[in-house]
Amino acid sequence: MNKKTGYDESSIRVLKGLEPVKQRPGMYTRTENALHIVQEVIDNAADEALAGYAKNIQVTHHADGSVSVLDDGRGIPVGKHPEEKVPVVEIVFTRLHAGGKFDKGSGGAYAFSGGLHGVGVSVTNALSKRLEVTVWRDSAEYRIVFAGGEVIEPLKKTGPSAGRNGTQVRVWPDGKYFDDAGIPGAELAHSLKARAVLLPGVTTHLLFEKTGKQESWRYEGGLKDYLLELIDGEEPIVDPWIAEGYVGSGDDVFAIGEGAQWALVWTAEGGIHRESFVNLIPTTAGGTHEAGLRDGLFSAVKAFIEQHNLLPKGIKVLPEDVFSRVSFVLSAKVLDPQFQGQTKEKLTSRDALRLVSFQVKAPLELWLNRDLESARKIADLAIRAAQSRVRSAQKVEKKKGSGVAVLPGKLTDCESTDLQRNELFLVEGDSAGGSAKMGRDKEFQAILPLRGKVLNTWETDKERLFANAEVHDIAVALGVDPHGVGDTVNWSNLRYGKVCILSDADVDGSHIQVLLLTLFFKHFPQLVERGHVFVARPPLFRVDVTASGKRQARKIYSLDDGELTHVLDKLKQEGLAQSAWSISRFKGLGEMSAEQLWETTLNPDTRRLSMVGYGEVEPLDTAKRFHLLMGRTEASSRRAWLEEKGHEVDVDV
């Protein structure tokens, strides 16, 4: 062992309290500016309004750079926690994974809320130079002050409440954690404006102390008024459709109150405007609730087109044809949403797709059949989009004959010739390849199973590549010859817009990923540069939960140990005993049924797919690292590197 590393028992450091946030702030919030830690406070005020207790949210951007958020809700509890023996308001701001949003049972403080991880305002506190909290509750006023996440003025009663209730939080962001400690005023205003749209009867206020500028928002017309404001100046082909759908009693899958409300409109030209929210949280990157809206719209419009025989011969309407000219505002209510990261920009809850799709499809079918004139206009717009797509789609002739490379016999090709839609999955093993063939969407997904590990091509000459059968099949299936960084490439022969590496979620699978990435980086670098190469991320665990009450048995998939821990925590919060679930670890993709593989890894709406790119690392540095890892003459260098860095890796063996 290299003695310079000093790796022993004392090297293991346990981060306590809010230290993890300070050490790795990017894991908990966006760090380009301090807006997100302020939004965490606004989210709490909005949750009070969503629960029906607050009517006003006042945000003040003070001249000294701090921001205060005031609501007229119930006020954060100030009594001592029955187990922790510390004032609850102190716990909320100093402990990760603590808060009222975990209480989901009947009579819980929050049935639907955006802050579900118990992380939000504690992160705000950790990344602030100073944070002051004033609470008006139980006819009294209370105050507590923090600095750098630590209590510097303990909670104390400062006087009577003068008949008011609510909470005020004032935040001084610490600039050392952010690229820019300032708060972008336009984004702050948009955030408050959106909450006024989504909270009928609630007024949001914003004051900039330095300029004296003050704005207030209250939307009596809700989503419709906001949508019309977004598409101002653009002519809809039909009147906007505003509707909502929520789960009632007796549903075996979803909780009472889950569902969505939406306002949408079709326009023939101009810009497309789309905004979505989950429990008032803006989901700027979309997610499964938007996929559910698209699925519901497509199913209803397609059914109308088929019912009235409107489709021209040889034309097939796809979801993007129906959805391409839709502007919308969508607000979903999900009992226990799963977001991609703490910044909550994308909803990943798979059930949300079915939830929203089901709520959208039936009322839209009813609306279309009641208003036939509008329905025909929508159908005509979708059909014209399909015709335009077919005309513009790149035609790829699948040549089979003398002098032309024949497509690999193992390749199960797709039906579409649309390069932008087509996907090729390079699948580890024949068994998994069989499941993938059955589970895929044959319209646009092709499968090429790979036997064993691909050749390490780092030091293989381009002329000798095709001596390896697997590499030959990959290149021929793609339709692109091996090339260098500066070579001229005939992209007209590229047959797939996405090339997806699909291997087991274990060490061998990771090895296959590295070998394939080596092939692409070394011999198809422009394919990577153009954003065509992806890595599919199948789950490693499946949790089988038995039926309880009215809720049916469930299967919950987890990508890794971290997600598994989160899933088990949620099950415990539901009040389930450990005997109510069992955990299975997938030994490989071959263990998954076709249905499971589609739901978790192939379905574009619910899968995890990571694009491969160079990022901020210089290609030359990447090449050096590849050479260290894959070069045949670098065994001694690899050993030295492993001795120095090996302890940093969590190896799955």
Neighbouring residues of 436: CB distance < 8 A, sequence distance ≥ 6:
425, 427, 447, 449, 502, 589, 594, 597, 602
Do the beta carbons of residue 443 and residue 416 sit within 8 Å?
A: yes
Which of residues 177, 197, 217 is at a domain's end? 217
Catalytic residue among 506, 634, 643, 644: 506
Catalytic residue among 508, 529, 595, 652, which? 508
Is residue 652 part of the annotated active site? The answer reads: no
Q: Catalytic pick from 47, 48, 90, 428? A: 428
Please state, as a whole number, how many other Cβ atoms lie within 10 Å of the Cβ of residue 578: 9
With beta carbons less than 8 A apart as the criterion, state whether 41 and 167 touch. Answer: no
DSSP 95: -
* One domain, residues 194 and 269: no
Radius of gyration, alpha carbons of the chain: 28
Tokens, residue 81: 């926690």
What is the per-residue pLDDT across 18-57, written as a single tens digit (0 to 9) for each?
666 666 666 666 677 888 889 889 988 988 887 889 999 9
Q: What CATH number should be reported for the domain holding residue 277?
A: 3.30.230.10
Give yes or no: 504 in active site: yes
Residue 405 pLDDT exceeds 60: no
351 domain residue, yes or no: yes
Q: 295 and 204 share a domain?
A: no
- pLDDT digit string, tens, across residues 268-314: 888 899 999 888 778 888 899 999 999 999 999 999 999 999 999 88
539 or 627: which carries more pLDDT confidence? 539
Q: Is residue 465 part of a domain?
A: no
Please indicate, yes or no, whether residues 246 and 337 belong to a single structural domain of this protein: yes
Domain count, the chain: 2
Q: Which of 363, 392, 421 is the last residue of a domain?
A: 392
Regarding whether 197 and 238 lie in a shared domain, the answer is no
* Same domain as 155, residue 47: yes
Is there a domain that residue 311 lies in? yes
Same domain? For 171 and 184 the reply is yes
Lookup: tokens for 263: 């306002």
| Domain boundary residue, one of 392, 420, 439 | 392
**Residue 229 a catalytic site member:** no
Query: At 160, which CATH number?
Result: 3.30.565.10
pLDDT attached to residue 651 = 54
124: containing domain: 19-217
Statement: the pTM of the whole predicted model exceeds 0.85: no
pLDDT in tens, 66-81: 999 999 999 999 988 8
pLDDT digit string, tens, across residues 556-605: 888 877 778 878 877 877 778 888 899 988 877 878 888 888 988 999 88
Which of these is catalytic: 40, 72, 470, 504? 504
Residue 467 included in any domain = no
Quick one: 134 and 282 in the same domain? no
Please indicate whether residue 428 is annotated as part of the active site: yes
Q: Is the pLDDT of residue 108 over 50?
A: no
Does any domain span residue 636? Answer: no
Judged by phi (left if over 0) then psi (alpha if -120 to 50, else beta), residue 280 lies in left
Residue 358 has pLDDT above 90, yes or no: yes
Indicate the helix (H) or strand (E) that contains 565: helix 561-573
pLDDT level of residue 431 (50, 70, 90 thresholds) = confident
Q: At 144, phi and psi to the nearest 5?
A: -145, 145
Quick check: 199 pLDDT over 70? yes
- Asked if the structure places residue 635 within a domain, the reply is no
Claim to verify: residue 26 and residue 85 sit in the same structural domain: yes
Is residue 109 domain-shared with residue 240, that is, in the same domain?
Answer: no
Same domain, 242 and 351: yes
Residue 291 is assigned to a structural domain of this protein = yes
Same domain, 385 and 365: yes
Pair 374, 358 in one domain: yes
Q: In the structure, how many helices (H) and strands (E) does the chain have? A: 18, 21
Angle, CA 335 vertex, CA 343 and CA 551 arms, to 5°: 140
Domain-embedded: residue 508: no
Residue 289: CA count within 13 A, CB half-sphere: 31
